[in-house]
Structures are given as structure tokens and as C-alpha cells.
Amino acid sequence: MIEVRIHGRGGQGNVAASYLLAGTAIDQGWHALAFPAFGAERRGAPVAAFVRMDRSPFSRRDQIAHPDYLIVQDEALLHDAATLAGLKPGGGVLVNSPRTPTELGLDVKAYSLPANALAEKHLGRPVPNTALLAAFITLTGLLPLEALSHELGQRFKGAVLDKNRTLIAAAAEAVEADIWNQEVAHAAGA
């Protein structure tokens, strides 16, 4: 089972990101669930969303305490210890930031992507979720990027879809393909 926890703020598309990731996994034959956890429901408030994916059916519907991966849509949330809490040993953290993981003070396997800037350039507004999903899929190799593009086509049409597809291509080009997948395979002795 792969467990992903997404941290961000209201208005950044955290919940939409979790549903897109789960939908992409389901379209590729995985069993997947996505669900959010809200505090005060207002724009800018911290929000967490969760995605579980497995090749076999499962019934767990509780919040993810020990994720394999974290996607952090607002680097300021790294100052809250709960954001990184429970990350499994060897797990990966993808952060929306123009700063490097070292500059962010991360001492775990991490990758940063200036997702707000990419979204602003391609969408005309700084909503990082699509760029971060594309980067996550590219880093892990868990799913084909084309599957995310297809899933976006289930939610968007016309110019919005075209802009999002351009954004996922740009985000995928900005990170190293399958780097986390190779590390997992190496650690497993493959």
C-alpha cells in the first residue's frame, strides 16, 4: 500500500489533488481512496488530504499517520512539526518552493519545485496542485503521466484543460524521472 499525505492551505487545491491522484491510480488498475481533513474551513487555513493506493482491495479509511510520501503545497507549513510527523523511513517529501530542500532545512529525502511560479506562468494563477502531482508522479514512477492528463480531462475542458496539460508537462520536465522509484528498488535489493 502506498500512502500519501498532502498538506497545504485552503484554496490551493489540496482536496482536488487528492481526488486527482486517486482517480489517476484507479484508472490504472489500482484500488484507491482519497479524503480530506479540515480544520476551520476558510481560504488560507491549513488543510490535509490523504490518498491510499494499493494493487489489492483494502478497507482502511482512517487518516494517514505514517505516509510513504508527503506533498507540501505551502513551504510555511514545514514550520509545523505535524507536517513531517510520521513520515516513514526512506519516505519522500515534495515541497512547493523555489528554495532547495537544504535551504528549507529538510534532512529527509526531499525535492522542491517552484509550483506556484509554474502555475502562474501556465495557468495565470498560483495554484500548485497540478504541478505538484505531475512532479510526484514523475519522481516516483508509480503512474504514467499520461494517466494524470487523462484524469484532468475528466474534470476540465477547453482552454483550462489545455493549460493544465501544458503545466503538467513543464512540471514533469523540471524534476528527475523515477528518482524515488529507483531509490526504493535499490533499498529493496532490486
DSSP 8: E
Residue 41: its pLDDT value, please? 60
Q: Name the phi and psi angles at 60, rounded to 5.
A: -65, 130
pLDDT tens string 39-94: 656 677 888 999 999 999 999 888 999 999 999 999 999 999 999 999 999 999 99
How do the domains of the chain map onto residue ranges?
2-187
Inter-axis angle of helices 129-140 and 115-123, nearest 10: 120
Count CB-CB contacts under 10 A for residue 148: 27
Residue 42: its pLDDT value, please? 66
CATH classification number, 2-187, choose in 3.30.450.20, 3.40.920.10, 3.30.365.10, 3.10.20.30: 3.40.920.10
Residue 92: its pLDDT value, please? 96
Residue 186: its pLDDT value, please? 35
pLDDT tens string 115-126: 999 999 999 999
Portion of the chain with pLDDT greater than 90, in percent:
81
pLDDT tens string 122-147: 999 999 999 999 999 999 999 999 99
Judge whether 13 and 129 are in contact, CB under 8 Å: yes
